[in-house]
Structure 1
């Protein structure tokens, strides 16, 4: 919290004073060494409290080079064509470079305070990008030696673009820091600008993130150093003397050349006995520094509370949105993989604390939390169901680690692996760990064997010889895949052949190698312990985060718990608790059983009700059908009585007239015979219409259209009326009720007869259409005599016509103008034909 307060104060001060002025350093009581490097040649003066002038400017290193404006001069370590490119330029504490102990610096040469804290910094400018450097690395400041016991540290830039600090004690590398140089943003690495590079150690051995790496582009507007990463030293640096050098390493084994020169400019190298604050550098002016120091004196920082905090929860390897404090994380039904990432509060020294965790509700056993990089083995059964898992964690450095993987030996590691009965596949994940874990891990000769047959390797291509582009960093070994937020961390390393590697300098990303294989053998009943082995070289710097993973967590209510316990005589504890709830499937919830019973009763009642309604609909359909038949029978009887009966009566009367007049009045008899013939034809036509109306095969719209067309032509045959028929060709074969088509046909016929009777010689049009939504449209028009609709007409023809269509549920509109003709428009909604009831 106090660091945040200082950062806020820095911003407030900068807002008042404006951008800081960048000036060379002035020595203070904490400045152990300060080389401005402004001299034209050796010796280069040391303005620190323990001065050691630099005497050896060798192999083409050149003084008096252009510096950052206002800083006097700089030194170039970019080799000339005629220089020693094999070893490269260097600046030493001794006049000559030598192999062995003779080129050690003279005592005293302190590089840290009494508590082990230090700050090492320099201004640097690249002539070429790190990836294009001819050397293996780009050393800024080093204190290395050919004698193993004298090695201390190397501060440098790695070719992949990492800023690296390596603490070396004898043959061991104890932690360190590794961070990726910015590739974009205001501090992106380039060959044009000057940068301030610094490493700061606070002296608290084994405290998580006790080492910080800074990379800041020089320029107006910088208020604090730009931190790009953190690391951890598990022990203070050694206080022995070693070969001190700037721009290269003084460690030269005979004729072997490490080629670690810095291809560019270096200036203003300072080593301090304290962990300097992020504002205590050259790009912040002195007045602002003094003001911030005064703020710290008035409110000195308090020791951090002993506690832990949850960073994130991953569900199925996807980050979950954490609920407000005190509320559980609620997940849907099913089996879930849960990964909890948590850490100590800032400033806590976690080294003496043993961290254990559990998922209360899943089991009462406490397990250690995983730190560093991990290898996870999952045993899968039928349907890829998870049976069990085992995690192997890697932290620190492997035996014999020598600064980098290429110069370090591969160490054999063997672990027991219990494989349950029923295992069919194994899934392996080799992970760079939590986001803030950094370092290198190289694996080769992976083997899985039964303990009864240790010589038989069941893991295909454990030496990583097969795959795609296996001679390149981006290669893909056979049966392996990359995953993670930065897959480039997972690489193919060229050791003594291809190997599987993780090179992680990203403090906010991670990567994984994964592989799933058939086991190929059947474990013994009850399960069997196999032998898992591989060769490895590693230097893993765990971050502040820890991880606990739980697979196939079933529905229920749980609490993730973590506890850290210190040792006697002053035990200290820190704890963390986080509730989580996985909802049960609907059928397992308390309310499901009574609801299912109620639903069953309701469903049964609905079934009975549906059956009752079905029977009722059946009876109603039968009644409707019976009524329809009765209406048709009544209509047919009425038509036969009204129409056919009348016509038969006319025939009888005409026949009796013929009989009486045939002897006495032959001329009148002949007239009655003509009347008799006409009545007979009318009777035949009426019979045809009646037969058509009652024939079920004519109960379709297309048959109705054909019938009306024939009727219209018959009516106007031998008449002075010219008829035009306009009936759509694409009328669908829609089924009609017989009464509907009968009444509709009679209405059209009546309208056509009216034209024949009253319109006089003219042109007539009969149109028939099926409109949208099943509306049948008919229009009968003429350009004859017409009439005035406002004058009452003799007879009930028009009234009956309107009543007929009203009975059909339609409309009848008559429009007429004297001398201009008449138009009759009929619209009827086609009725649905009731289905026959099922037996």
Structure 2
């Protein structure tokens, strides 16, 4: 029973383990398999299971068979350098697996016919399982060849499929010294298919055999892990011609080119397994890491879908404004830009699957230029002549595609080719701007420029362009350096780099990105003045390039002003049956706000509104002035009425007393001298009271006394005068830092009379005692406190007269309060509190 249970457990563990590991199986040859090397043998020869078998005989220079493969595959071949030094091993060459037993300079090591690498229509797929022992940038060699058919003398060169040290997967079709397009794509460094040391990946390149179609080459890089149902496409390229039918030195893990003492040092630092060459462009699902169920579903789906003839049409892929991509509007909607002068780049192309070669593409921006112009393809060098304000006067564009003369796989081994072009410079030119661009995002390849020169035709030996050798700048011995006077820009600036050619530096573009682009740009003052009417200069540089144009075309328009435009592109077939198609895209550049239709009415409305507001403000100012004048007049009239009332009530009474006293003196002066003398004393007292009353009245109406400080001084003098000859003692407390507050004359008058009456009451009724008078400002209120410790009185008791009631009424009229507290035998306390008033003033006119 226990034994049976253990078997069940072991079976379950085995099932779980089997389900966790991806069930990838080695290839089985089919009708398209030209060559298939499983590389499971312990040594050469390695069997070829393809329909045109060619065993591999030369395992050389440290290459080792029987190494650990990916699970499920028999064995792999390692091409890493051995740690020990084997006598006789050509370390300058590196490990290699060759079709022939040994390397030779000449045709002896060329693969024997028949050795097909393409189908009848030229299509092919090269693939292999690869495992890196180091990252590409750390590889000891110049490149990491996977599969190649190269040649020593250069006559029988066919292709190289390899990894470039910057981290690119590259396919180079070669015919003699010419490179016929190719493919270059960046290997992922992040995500599920990121390159890593010690892990297995599937690398493949597939060509569909259509020589004249763009993007007819596809590059794949896929991590071998469970769940993959399609290969991971990392880039596309274009072959301008089928592979050469020549037979060269076929090799795996290195290049077969041999010079008698060594080679190009391009061995693969890692392991390679399951190499297959097919005569068709394998579909993304037709590889070893895709399950049979997924393959079956994909095949059935493709069979059910009818084969459609590619539609002859074009599509707009991207619009850039000032070299920055912008968001595309909804279909049928125009692209709306702000006012100003704009540089517009339109990236467009034919629909997928359209044969491009028999078609001529022309474009124009209606509203700016009605002429049809060819669009630019590949990488470009643009020269712009600018006036003093920076506006463009003229423009010249040079484009490169394909490969330069003598191109040898990469820039380091390729010669620079001199190129000279005429450049017309208008008379008003002050500056010249040059832009070297990697073109549309799907354009890939390499372009190296050196010895840039701009010279007058009359003085071809004098270079007017500074730093044309790119030998001055920041870190120019590194790829990330910046030559003086230049700057790099773009969605992936790392594409623009400084190239090291021997001991010299050069300007370079190395583009393997399918979705990004970059450029070098420089603007320099023109040190000479062009001849009247303009002058033709000589422009020259040295270059080497291998540029693989993508499916996109580019049309560039500079200094596009405000207006409504329509970008149009058309294709015209060279053959009558080719047909035509067109593309239309509206663009609106807004006018400056002062030129837009709403601006003039808005200005008129604003002017009318401003005039109305100004008139209303003037009316309000005059109304406020009149209202203030009326208020002031009313205040003056109130003061005059008060003064008249005071003069009538107070001064009139006192004058009447003087008249009565004088008449008494006249009657008694002859008959009763003693009575006359008493009346004279009464007359003197009345005259003195009249003078005091006149002084108080004059003080109240004098505008120079309309301040709180003058009020405090007046009240202090009044208190001292009242208690001068009395038995009571007065203590006066007035702070020295009273605020400088202006007061109305009526306020001063009533407040002073109220305080004076309270002081008189204390003198008259309190008896001999101590009296205190305090004046202060508390929270914006003027407060006076008169306090004594005299006889006091009962506030609730009935008294004859209206003195206290009048006193309270006086302060209520001032908007204040009057509080009097008294206790018989304990004294009296009077508190007067009024808010300090604001003096009305006339507004400024």
The answer, yes or no, to whether TM exceeds 0.5 is yes
Partner residue of 1:230 out of 228, 236, 242 = 236
Give the corresponding residue for 2:430.
424
Give the corresponding residue for 1:564.
571
Partner residue of 2:544 out of 533, 537, 546 = 537
1:401 aligns with 2:403: no
Q: Specify whether residues 693 and 523 from structure 1 end up closer, same or farther in structure 2 by C-alpha distance, changes over 3 A only.
A: farther
Q: How does 1:197-346 map to 2 (within 5 A)?
A: 197-346=203-352
Give the corresponding residue for 2:48.
46
Mapped contact 2:706–2:744 kept (Cα < 8 A): yes
CA distance in 2, matches of 1:326, 1:801: 88
Secondary structure of the corresponding residue to residue 166 of structure 2: coil
Partner residue of 1:588 out of 592, 595, 598 = 595
Q: Deviations over 1:298-340 (max 9, x none)?
A: 1144233121112222223333332221122222222222222
Q: Specify whether residues 610 and 248 from structure 1 end up closer, same or farther in structure 2 by C-alpha distance, changes over 3 A only.
A: same
CA distance in 1, matches of 2:688, 2:24: 124
Partner residue of 2:583 out of 568, 573, 576 = 576
CA distance in 2, matches of 1:755, 1:193: 111
Q: Specify whether residues 802 and 118 from structure 1 end up closer, same or farther in structure 2 by C-alpha distance, changes over 3 A only.
A: farther
Q: Specify whether residues 661 and 434 from structure 1 end up closer, same or farther in structure 2 by C-alpha distance, changes over 3 A only.
A: farther
Tell me whether 252-261 or 95-104 shows the greater mean CA deviation.
252-261
Report how far residue 452 of structure 1 moved. Answer: 2.5
Mapped contact 1:787–1:816 kept (Cα < 8 A): no
Secondary structure of the corresponding residue to residue 365 of structure 1: strand
Report how far residue 294 of structure 1 moved. Answer: 1.0
Partner residue of 1:415 out of 421, 424, 429 = 421
Mapped contact 2:43–2:65 kept (Cα < 8 A): yes
Q: Specify whether residues 308 and 629 from structure 1 end up closer, same or farther in structure 2 by C-alpha distance, changes over 3 A only.
A: same
Q: Specify whether residues 545 and 646 from structure 1 end up closer, same or farther in structure 2 by C-alpha distance, changes over 3 A only.
A: farther
Report how far residue 421 of structure 1 moved. Answer: 1.8
Secondary structure of the corresponding residue to residue 148 of structure 1: coil
Give the corresponding residue for 2:534.
527
Q: Specify whether residues 297 and 673 from structure 1 end up closer, same or farther in structure 2 by C-alpha distance, changes over 3 A only.
A: same
Q: Specify whether residues 596 and 119 from structure 1 end up closer, same or farther in structure 2 by C-alpha distance, changes over 3 A only.
A: same
Give the corresponding residue for 1:3.
none
CA distance in 2, matches of 1:421, 1:832: 75
Mapped contact 2:822–2:829 kept (Cα < 8 A): yes
Report how far residue 63 of structure 1 moved. Answer: 0.8
Superposition RMSD in Å? 3.6
Give the corresponding residue for 1:501.
508
Tell me whether 219-228 or 151-160 shows the greater mean CA deviation.
219-228
Partner residue of 2:450 out of 444, 449, 453 = 444
Give the corresponding residue for 2:523.
516
Q: Specify whether residues 795 and 337 from structure 1 end up closer, same or farther in structure 2 by C-alpha distance, changes over 3 A only.
A: farther
1:163 aligns with 2:165: no
Q: Specify whether residues 30 and 612 from structure 1 end up closer, same or farther in structure 2 by C-alpha distance, changes over 3 A only.
A: same
CA distance in 1, matches of 2:388, 2:400: 31
Give the corresponding residue for 2:559.
552
CA distance in 1, matches of 2:70, 2:370: 62
CA distance in 1, matches of 2:299, 2:727: 121
Give the greater-gyration-radius structure (CA).
2
Mapped contact 1:802–1:811 kept (Cα < 8 A): no
CA distance in 2, matches of 1:227, 1:705: 97
Q: Deviations over 1:618-660 (max 9, x none)?
A: 6665555555544444444444444455556567767888999
Report how far residue 263 of structure 1 moved. Answer: 0.6
Give the corresponding residue for 1:177.
183
Partner residue of 1:33 out of 35, 39, 43 = 35
CA distance in 1, matches of 2:562, 2:653: 89
1:192 aligns with 2:194: no
Which structure 1 segments of 5+ residues have no match? 1-16
Mapped contact 1:35–1:46 kept (Cα < 8 A): yes
Secondary structure of the corresponding residue to residue 166 of structure 1: strand
CA distance in 2, matches of 1:786, 1:524: 114
Secondary structure of the corresponding residue to residue 570 of structure 1: helix
Partner residue of 1:435 out of 428, 435, 441 = 441
Report how far residue 228 of structure 1 moved. Answer: 1.5
Report how far residue 347 of structure 1 moved. Answer: 2.0
Give the corresponding residue for 2:125.
119
Mapped contact 2:43–2:59 kept (Cα < 8 A): yes
Report how far residue 152 of structure 1 moved. Answer: 0.9
CA distance in 2, matches of 1:791, 1:390: 114
Report how far residue 617 of structure 1 moved. Answer: 5.8
Report how far residue 824 of structure 1 moved. Answer: 4.9
Mapped contact 1:555–1:582 kept (Cα < 8 A): yes
Mapped contact 1:353–1:566 kept (Cα < 8 A): yes
Give the corresponding residue for 1:56.
58
Mapped contact 2:738–2:777 kept (Cα < 8 A): no
Q: Deviations over 1:249-307 (max 9, x none)?
A: 00112324211001111111111122112122121111220121011111144233121
Give the corresponding residue for 1:480.
486
Q: Specify whether residues 484 and 619 from structure 1 end up closer, same or farther in structure 2 by C-alpha distance, changes over 3 A only.
A: same
Report how far residue 78 of structure 1 moved. Answer: 0.4
Q: Deviations over 1:71-90 (max 9, x none)?
A: 12111100113153311100
CA distance in 1, matches of 2:581, 2:796: 104
Mapped contact 1:805–1:828 kept (Cα < 8 A): no
Q: How does 1:812-823 map to 2 (within 5 A)?
A: 812=817, 814=819
Q: Specify whether residues 607 and 92 from structure 1 end up closer, same or farther in structure 2 by C-alpha distance, changes over 3 A only.
A: same
CA distance in 2, matches of 1:527, 1:739: 90
Report how far residue 831 of structure 1 moved. Answer: 2.8
Mapped contact 1:788–1:816 kept (Cα < 8 A): no
Give the corresponding residue for 1:69.
71
Give the corresponding residue for 1:455.
461
Tell me whether 489-498 or 698-707 shows the greater mean CA deviation.
698-707
Mapped contact 1:19–1:222 kept (Cα < 8 A): no
Secondary structure of the corresponding residue to residue 538 of structure 2: strand
Partner residue of 2:160 out of 154, 157, 164 = 154
Q: Specify whether residues 452 and 669 from structure 1 end up closer, same or farther in structure 2 by C-alpha distance, changes over 3 A only.
A: same
CA distance in 1, matches of 2:633, 2:514: 87
1:469 aligns with 2:475: yes
CA distance in 1, matches of 2:583, 2:799: 101
Tell me whether 559-568 or 588-597 shows the greater mean CA deviation.
588-597
CA distance in 2, matches of 1:800, 1:659: 38
Report how far residue 214 of structure 1 moved. Answer: 1.3
CA distance in 2, matches of 1:316, 1:281: 43
CA distance in 2, matches of 1:510, 1:730: 78
Mapped contact 2:36–2:276 kept (Cα < 8 A): yes
Mapped contact 2:632–2:840 kept (Cα < 8 A): no
Mapped contact 1:751–1:780 kept (Cα < 8 A): no
Report how far residue 695 of structure 1 moved. Answer: 4.0
CA distance in 1, matches of 2:127, 2:796: 112
Q: Deviations over 1:460-487 (max 9, x none)?
A: 1211122222222222212112222222
Mapped contact 1:21–1:284 kept (Cα < 8 A): no
Secondary structure of the corresponding residue to residue 150 of structure 1: coil
Secondary structure of the corresponding residue to residue 245 of structure 1: strand
Q: Specify whether residues 602 and 31 from structure 1 end up closer, same or farther in structure 2 by C-alpha distance, changes over 3 A only.
A: same
CA distance in 2, matches of 1:525, 1:746: 98
